[in-house]
């Protein structure tokens, strides 16, 4: 069965290494579950700059617009630090998000029982944690105008503008409420309405969407700085958190470390439905390109693999197969397989990137 089309953009650093394990799992689903994906591959980030002189070629952007899902590894690295801002590797990722209009960034923070002692927080605080942060991704301070570095009164001034429209806030709020209905039916909206006009508007619009369309979902509001504090005090009080681009960037990284390793965390960036009813979508691990371990077989592929699980769930309507893959990862961790980022025992030999892929494939075989 033709399950859909995927564009793979491995990117830079450890991106190609972790994506290689995802490709093996995609092949497993074709061989063992009859889910045949039409897979193509292209360049993004520094890898694209090296070939095309830009971090994302127009032809690649066109491909991304035409597939059911884009899977991205990582972008960036010290090799590109001195490039002009307009062609830095990260601009390729930002262009994908902006031109595909991927306005809702879903970042789950889940702590597997096998890793509860690996978090810097106490086991009882993080064991069983399962929260979802929904971050607005295509507006706010990262895109607002005016922006730049200017001369003013004899000195340089850096300016970034926080800007949101009602419609931009409303659509990401709807995404959060819809997700909550399938989870714990609870949303906490975070902003800074005490000091920012954009925060006042954010709170008002989220409340209006709730009252008119989702009165069955429990809604609370919290200032974003207090939200960061509460995430480290008692994160299990939350189910779905919805917030703007800047605060979402910060809060999702805080939530990421509750689980013990950035190498564990996937993400999905979703947009409006296409003609086939599927949302435009990009899936990527939360971690960066990790140039310090590139090419050494030390990278943890789980975040990238779980990003594919999110693609199965949100782009291909394969919820049961997404569950299968997530349970395979959970079993491997319970069996004690650990890449270096998950190893806190002296004398134990860590699993390589390939070893972790082998173990997850074996767990998938065992699930049949």
pLDDT tens digits for range 192-248 = 999 999 999 999 999 999 999 999 999 999 999 999 999 999 999 999 999 999 999
Token digits of residue 278: 């599927």
113 pLDDT exceeds 90? no
Architecture of domain 1-106+263-368: 3-Layer(aba) Sandwich (3.40)
Which spans in the chain are helix H? Answer: 15-33, 46-52, 58-66, 89-99, 123-126, 166-181, 197-213, 224-233, 245-258, 302-314, 319-334, 353-366
Percent helix, percent strand, percent coil in the chain, to nearest 5: 45, 25, 30
**Domain coordinates of the chain in residue numbers?**
1-106+263-368, 130-258
112 pLDDT exceeds 90? no
pLDDT band at 13; cut points 50, 70, 90: very high
Q: Verify whether residue 365 is a known catalytic residue.
A: no
Give 56-102 pLDDT, tens digit per residue.
999 999 999 999 999 999 999 999 999 999 999 999 998 999 899 99
Token digits of residue 152: 């003013």
Q: Output the CA–CA distances (angstroms, integers) from residue 172 to 134, 205, 252, 311, in the order listed.
A: 8, 11, 16, 19
pLDDT band at 115; cut points 50, 70, 90: confident
Q: Verify whether residue 280 is a known catalytic residue.
A: no
Q: Verify whether residue 192 is a known catalytic residue.
A: yes
Instruction: Point out the catalytic residue in the list 253, 317, 323, 358.
Output: 253
Give 312-337 pLDDT, tens digit per residue.
999 999 999 999 999 999 999 999 99
Q: What is the mean pLDDT of the chain?
A: 94
Q: What is the SS3 assignment for 323?
A: helix
Q: Is residue 153 packed enough to be buried (19+ CB in 10 Å), middle (13-18) or exposed (0-12)?
A: exposed
Q: Is 365 annotated as a binding residue?
A: no
Token digits of residue 331: 């079993």
Instruction: Point out the catalytic residue in the list 49, 103, 142, 214.
Output: 142
CB 23 within 8 A of CB 306: no
Q: Is 292 annotated as a binding residue?
A: yes
CB 108 within 8 A of CB 318: no
Q: Verify whether residue 249 is a known catalytic residue.
A: yes
Q: Verify whether residue 50 is a known catalytic residue.
A: no
Specify the pLDDT at position 264. 85
Its pTM surpasses 0.85:
yes
Give 197-213 pLDDT, tens digit per residue.
999 999 999 999 999 99
Specify the pLDDT at position 38. 97
Give 26-50 pLDDT, tens digit per residue.
999 999 999 999 999 999 999 999 9
Q: Is 351 annotated as a binding residue?
A: no
**Going by C-beta distance under 8 Å and a sequence separation of 6 or more, which residues neighbour residue 224?**
190, 191, 192, 243, 247, 250, 251
Instruction: Point out the catalytic residue in the list 101, 186, 223, 225.
Output: 225
pLDDT band at 127; cut points 50, 70, 90: confident
Q: Cβ of 11: how many Cβ atoms within 10 Å? A: 28
Q: Is 87 annotated as a binding residue?
A: yes
Q: Is 253 annotated as a binding residue?
A: yes
Q: Is 239 annotated as a binding residue?
A: no
Q: Is residue 205 packed enough to be buried (19+ CB in 10 Å), middle (13-18) or exposed (0-12)?
A: buried
Strand partners, 158: 149
Same CATH topology for 1-106+263-368 and 130-258: the answer is: yes
Superfamily of domain 130-258: Isopropylmalate Dehydrogenase (3.40.718.10)
């Amino acid at each position: 069965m033709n399950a859909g089309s995927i564009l793979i953009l491995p990117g830079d650093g450890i991106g190609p290494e972790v994506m290689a394990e995802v490709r093996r799992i995609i092949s497993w689903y074709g061989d063992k579950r009859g889910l045949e994906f039409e897979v193509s591959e292209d360049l993004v980030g520094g890898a694209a700059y090296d070939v095309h002189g830009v971090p994302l070629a127009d032809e690649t952007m066109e491909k991304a617009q035409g597939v059911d899902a884009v899977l991205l590894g990582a972008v960036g690295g010290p090799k590109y630090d001195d490039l002009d801002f307009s062609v830095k590797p990260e601009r390729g990722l930002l262009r994908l998000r902006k031109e595909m209009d991927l306005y809702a960034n879903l970042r789950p923070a889940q702590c597997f029982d096998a890793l509860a002692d690996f978090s810097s927080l106490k086991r009882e605080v993080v064991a069983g944690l399962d929260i979802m942060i929904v971050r607005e991704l295509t507006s706010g301070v990262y895109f607002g105008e005016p922006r730049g570095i200017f001369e003013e009164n004899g000195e340089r001034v850096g300016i970034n503008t926080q800007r949101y429209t009602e419609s931009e806030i409303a659509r990401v709020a709807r995404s959060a409420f819809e997700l909550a209905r399938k989870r714990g039916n609870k949303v906490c909206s975070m902003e800074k309405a005490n000091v920012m006009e954009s925060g006042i508007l954010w709170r008002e619009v989220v409340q209006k969407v709730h009252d008119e369309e989702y009165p069955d979902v429990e809604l609370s509001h919290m200032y974003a700085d207090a939200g960061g504090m509460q995430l480290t005090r008692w994160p299990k009080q939350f189910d779905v958190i919805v917030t703007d681009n800047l605060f979402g960037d910060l809060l999702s990284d805080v939530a990421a470390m509750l689980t013990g390793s950035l190498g564990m965390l996937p993400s999905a960036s979703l947009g409006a439905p296409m003609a086939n009813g599927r949302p435009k979508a990009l899936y990527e691990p939360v971690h960066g390109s990790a140039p310090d371990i590139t090419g050494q077989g030390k990278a943890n592929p789980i975040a990238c693999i779980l990003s594919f699980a999110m693609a199965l769930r949100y782009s291909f309507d394969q919820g049961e197969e997404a569950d299968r893959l997530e349970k395979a990862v959970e079993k491997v961790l319970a069996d004690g397989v650990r890449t270096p980022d998950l190893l806190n025992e002296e004398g134990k030999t860590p699993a390589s990137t390939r070893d972790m892929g082998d173990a997850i494939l074996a767990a998938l075989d065992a699930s049949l």
